[in-house]
Amino acid sequence: MEQILTLIYLVASVTFMVGLKMLSKPDSARKGNLIAAAGMTLAIFATIFLYTDANGNHLGNLSFIFIALIVGTVVGWIMAKRVQMTAMPQMVSFFNGMGGACAALISIIEYNHMVHTSGGDMSGFMSSKGLIILAGLVIGSISFSGSIIAYGKLEGKINDFSLKGQQVANIGLLLAILVVSVLFQMGQISGSAWFFTILGLSLFYGILFVLPIGGADMPVVISLLNSFTGVAAACGGFLYNNYVMLIGGILVGSAGTILTVTMCNAMNRSLLNVLVGNFGGGATGGGGGTTTQGSVKEINKSDTAILMKYAKKVVIVPGYGLAVAQAQHTCHELETLLEEEGVEVKYAIHPVAGRMPGHMNVLLAESNVAYDKLVEMEDINPEFATTDVVLVVGANDVVNPAAKTDPTSPIYGMPILEVENAKNVIIMKRSMKAGYAGIDNELFYRPKSFMLFGDAKDTLVKLVTEVKAL
């Protein structure tokens, strides 16, 4: 029996690797996800029926385990099926938090178990097992509370918040966790109160760690917390000498870290800069040095419609505003309509457009926009010179020329979509309010730029009507 379990764990570990590999290519991604899911299902049921402890005993409490599995499956399935595509990032964050909480709970139970079986003598804790239990507790609970805060922020339930000297407080808190954990593990301090102090401090750290980070940087944070949970899962691998947990956990831990760094690179910022130097801090003051003069020109909907209908080539730049207004379907409608009129329509996708990298692609694909119409930044930039109309829908910082021209700007160095090279740039925005980075956008004042104010969805609906009426 034990040999079969080992074999199944081996198979499951391979499915995780193959699955992740396939997930990194568009053609095979969906299959890769299903393969990993099949491996996971196999590993779960094999554990339930085949796992034996050192004395050869099978697992008990099977009815409870099955009830818990059913409850989790039903709730998870419904949540995942019902969630709006625009709310995907926070959903991922939520599920990630659940994994973290699971890892932390395992540590708590194992600790209680040690306390009970040893009759209060905690010398057994000064072993590698104790170390692993503590690591799982700390990492799991940071991941849990951090993910829940990230979830709340993206849902708009929690606002950005930072204390004066928050970075110092965070580092101090992290040091406190480390010191208390080391002392506790070495037996210098003992008693369950300390164990739960470590739990409390870790949960608190997770909250403080995520709170000051701005909404647009949440994807990076979620990706980072994702890799934390991976490491917490790997702790379980050490605890139970379980290779599938170890492999699954470490794979996600390392892949997640690389993904985090890749996301930061797409914004041309370092991870440290995202975590510590959030926008809105000292940077805004400096960036204000180049207050743009002049006034913006407004354009009305019927003129926009005319401009687009008689254009040869239109490029739509979707951004965060489109995601928030859930205007992706209307946007697709406008695109189809223009195509019927013989206009060439493309979408310019900035690597960090929307709420997460790749989020715009998911949203537009949802509304049946053809895959080859979504053009990545490097490929579309040379095309702007031959574009008649660029329609910027709810994007701001990703088209701000200051990123190229103004070294004092907080976004200086971030690659942008060079829409200013097009013949006409129409910017759909709710108001003149600055974008996420909190800086003015010089693009709005350019001679070829026109502002079209209003809610992204309303405006697009009206544009569709106008184009039809022409």
Partner 1 sequence: MGFLSFIQENIQMIYLVILMIFVGIELISHVPSVLHTPLMSGANAIHGVVIIGAIIVMGQAEGTLSLIFGFIAVVLGTLNVVGGFVVTDRMLEMFKKKK
For residues 426-455, which are near partner 1 according to CB under 8 A?
Answer: none
Question: Is 458 tagged catalytic?
Answer: no
Determine the longest span between alpha carbons in the chain, in angstroms. Answer: 84
CA-CA-CA-CA torsion sign (335, 336, 339, 345): positive
Please, which residue, 156 or 187, has the CB nearer to partner 1? 187
Q: Do residues 443 and 420 lie in contact, with contact meaning Cβ atoms separated by under 8 Å? A: yes
For helices 456-469 and 328-340, angle between their N-to-C axes, nearest 10 degrees: 20
Q: Residue from 253, 321, 410, 415 that binds partner 1 (CB under 8 A)? A: 253
Q: CA-CA distance, 403 to 156, in Å (whole number)?
A: 28
Among 250, 271, 324, 461, binds partner 1 (CB under 8 A): 250
Tokens of 54: 């050192």
Q: How far is the CB of 468 from partner 1 (least distance, A)?
A: 24
Measured CA angle at 163 (ends 158, 166), to 5 deg? 110
Q: Out of 345, 356, 437, 467, point to the residue binding partner 1 (CB under 8 A).
A: 356
Rounded to an integer, what distance in angstroms lies between the CA atom of residue 463 and that of residue 447? 23
Query: Where in 169-228 is the site for partner 1 (CB under 8 A)?
Result: 185-186, 219, 222-223, 226
Phi, psi of 328, deg, nearest 5: -60, -35
Question: Is residue 237 a contact residue for partner 1 (CB under 8 A)?
Answer: yes
Site for partner 1 in 308-327 (CB under 8 A): none
- Assess 23 for contact with partner 1 (CB under 8 A): yes
Site for partner 1 in 257-276 (CB under 8 A): 258-259, 262-263, 266
What Å distances lie between residue 152 and 160, 271, 361, 440, CA to CA?
10, 22, 24, 28
Distance CA 202, CA 193 (A): 14
* Helical (H) or strand (E) element with 451: strand 449-453
Nearer to partner 1, 257 or 304 (CB): 257
Q: CB of residue 87 vs partner 1: minimum separation in angstroms?
A: 10
CB of 469 to partner 1, least distance (A): 29
| Euclidean distance between CA atoms 419 and 417, whole angstroms | 6
- What is the distance between the alpha carbons of residues 154 and 161, in angstroms, rounded to a whole number? 14
Q: Binding segment for partner 1 among 109-117, 283-291, 318-326, 441-449 (CB under 8 A)?
A: 109-117
Region binding partner 1 by CB under 8 A among candidate stretches 111-119, 192-200, 400-408, 413-421: 111-119
Is residue 287 near partner 1 by the rule CB under 8 A?
no
Residues 65-84 that bind partner 1 (CB under 8 A): 65, 67-69, 71-73, 75-77, 79-81, 83
Backbone φ and ψ for 58, nearest 5 degrees, come out as -80, 170
Nearer to partner 1, 208 or 232 (CB): 232
289 touching partner 1, by CB under 8 A: no
CA atoms of 412 and 440, how far apart (whole Å)? 13
- Name the one range near partner 1 by CB under 8 A: 39-47, 149-157, 284-292, 339-347: 39-47
Report the nearest approach of partner 1 to the CB of residue 156 (Å). 19
Q: How far apart are CA 258 and CA 219, in angstroms?
A: 13
Alpha-carbon 422 to chain mean position? 32
* β-strand partners of 428: 393, 452
Between 65 and 434, whose beta carbon lies closer to partner 1? 65
Q: Which listed residue (217, 303, 388, 397) is catalytic? A: 397
Number of residues that bind partner 1 (CB under 8 A): 124
- Residue 397 or 442 having the CB closest to partner 1: 397
Q: Is 51 in the site for partner 1 (CB under 8 A)?
A: yes
Q: How many residues does the chain have?
A: 470
Segment holding 338, helix H or strand E: helix 328-340
Is residue 376 part of the contact set for partner 1 (CB under 8 A)?
yes
Kindly tell me which of 22 and 425 has the beta carbon lying closer to partner 1.
22
Amino acid (1-letter code) at residue 461: V
| Residue placing its CB nearer to partner 1 in the complex, 21 or 157 | 21
Q: Which residues are catalytic?
A: 397
